[in-house]
Chain A
Amino acid sequence: MQDTVLIVGSGPSGLSAAAQVAGAGYKVVMVEKEEVLGGAPILSGYAKLVPSGEWAKDAIGRMVKRVEDDKAVTIHKGTRVTKLDGEPGNFTAKLSNNKQVKAGAVVLATGFTHFDSVNKPEWGFGTFPDVLTSTQMEQMVASGKIACPSDGRVPERVAILLCVGSRDRQIGREWCSKICCTVSANLAIEIKEMSPETDVFIYYMDIRTFGLYEDRFYWKSQEEFKTKFVKARIAEVTASGDGRLLVKGEDTLVKRPIVIPFDMVVHAIGMDPNQDNPEISKVFGVELEKHGFLQKGEQYTNTCGTSRPGVYSCGAAYGPETIDDSIAQGAAAGGRAVMDLTALVRKAG
């Protein structure tokens, strides 16, 4: 059993952890609650990924294939872990398919849940068909045609609202979801590429296209694709009466109220803690931090750890994370699990 690592979740971080563990000569049991592997990028139908520009189904597809083709990996789809007993080097997990898995370590690559825009009813999602979330917009881009869902017309103007479900004490989301600024700038580029007559406006509080995303996405969208950035937190989205939407707010740079007509409004939705986290916390005996993400073991010497020894985590389970960093953290968590198992074996002599 000390030669097996149980990996829960098959998104970018879980797939990366699995490849790391298998590559080190250990066995992997992967448990995925959905019927397909790949996590959010596949399940939500993302278009081109930031920053590679590669289609999600190709990029993540390669990661899935690498794991599926590996004989050291056993995969349980449509399955959950219902119980975890034991200690480092000797865990027993019960699965919802009534099977039992013996493993020396567990990696929780359980990810996040997209913010549900219905929780911000004033921004019109669920009320007006032309108000979409960024994941729906990703799907529209992947489908190859930019059109208003209400009547199929090509939008003259699209507004992207940032920080929907992020940085908002009103709804208990006190974190920055980190990726939405860059993803929105990328979406603005994709919209303009596919529909040159459409003007894209991004309504922001701050722009947080950190690191190398600054010029590759923020500057590029502004300088090459004429995206307009408007400093305003929107108060309300309503109907104009002639089939368009009205975006209301205060332009804080002009210091005046705005009521601007748009054809489509896109919510740049944030990353919530996985909605199953309370259950995950109970089943695996791990603590959650104050926002509801998984608590790290120790910030500097056990970065892949949780509050329970032998149980590791990575990626968006810890908090909003990019795909690239989730993959890096998955590899780190897989490596750490293997390292700790090796130490246990050596100690036992």
Chain B
Amino acid sequence: MAIHEKSLIEPERLLHHDELVVDGVDVSGHWNTMITPRTLTDYDDDFEAKIQAIPGGENVHRCWQCGSCTNSCTMYAQNVQFNPRYWIYAVRLGLKEEIIKDKDIVWQCVSCNKCTNICPKDVRPEGVMKALAHWMEEEGITEKTPSTIFDEEFTEQIYARGRIEDSHVLMGFYKKTGQSMFQNWLQVFGLRLARHLPVSLGLKFGRNVLMKPRTKSWGRTGEVLQQYVREQKEAAHG
């Protein structure tokens, strides 16, 4: 029988072909609408450990699903789709797809930490929310946040030069986030700087922008630092 009431079913589960012939029988049109099953067919046994390796997620395995976190949650009061208890359960069983479905709201945690204070098993749900947001960013499930992009630009300069040049960080950040350099505040800031900055400082400033100097005796420090950070990350994330 054709399925008429489709609003009750998630759109991605509806299969429909405008034209379809099966074994010589024309079943074009709404005749061939099918629904894929909702059944969960496996757990991802390694997922919990992956989240536990991210700072904040360490205690996720302690959860016994009492629901205190969701009950106390500031965001849940705004949006019942925001359900920390449920995501924690999905982490424990490795139901990744269930979490990815909510990728656009997990990051909305406001870190009020009411959940952390009320949790009888010391799961630290706020930390789990953070760990989940980080995991999704690292996996490319969600786009990098502006703050992550800023951090990356900042760190790259440190590795290369042992110091940052403000204008380069700004330029890099705006370029990578697709924003114009001609920000209103920046123009005002630049004009005032030009007007009031002592000439000697202005020259030094300009030289730094053009020459990109490194910190004295920086040598291979950047390389070593980069290597160390990489090793630490690998150790933490397995």
A residues neighboring B (CB under 8 Å): 157, 199, 201, 207, 218-219, 222-223, 226, 228-231, 251, 253-254, 256-261
Task: Tell me whether A257 and B39 are in contact in the complex, defined as CB-CB below 8 angstroms, given that A222-B64, A231-B65 are known contacts.
Answer: yes
Which chain A residues border B121 with CB–CB below 8 Å? 219
A259 adjacent to B41 (CB under 8 Å): yes
Using a Cβ cutoff of 8 Å, how many contacts connect chains A and B?
Answer: 49
Interface membership of B150, Cβ < 8 A: no
Contact B65 A256 (CB under 8 A): no
Cα-based distance from A199 to B168 in the complex (angstroms): 51
Given contacts A207-B64, A226-B61, A231-B65, contact A260 B95 (CB under 8 A): no
**CB of A117 to closest CB in B, whole Å:** 25
B-side contacts of A226, CB under 8 Å:
48, 61
7 further A-B pairs in the complex, CB-CB below 8 A; given A157-B45, A230-B93, A259-B41: A199-B45, A222-B62, A254-B86, A256-B39, A258-B39, A259-B40, A260-B43
Residues on B facing A (Cβ under 8 Å): 37-43, 45, 48, 61-62, 64-65, 86, 89-90, 92-93, 95, 98, 121
Bound Cα distance A258, B65 (Å)? 18
Q: Assuming A207-B64, A231-B65, is B89 touching A254 (CB within 8 A)?
A: yes
Which residue of B is nearest A253, CB measured? B89
Q: 3 tightest CB-CB pairs across the interface, nearest first? A: A257-B39, A258-B40, A256-B38
Q: Kindly list chain B residues whose C-beta atoms are within 8 Å of the C-beta of A231.
A: 65
> Which of B42, B93, B95, B121 has its CB near the most chain A CB atoms (within 10 A)?
B93
16 contacts between A and B (CB under 8 A): A207-B64, A219-B121, A222-B61, A226-B48, A228-B92, A228-B93, A230-B93, A231-B65, A254-B86, A254-B89, A254-B98, A257-B37, A257-B39, A259-B40, A260-B43, A261-B42
Q: Which residue of A lies closest to B122 (CB)?
A: A223
A218 to B92, CA, bound (A): 16
CB distance from A189 to the nearest CB of B (A): 14
A253 touches B86 (CB 8 A): yes
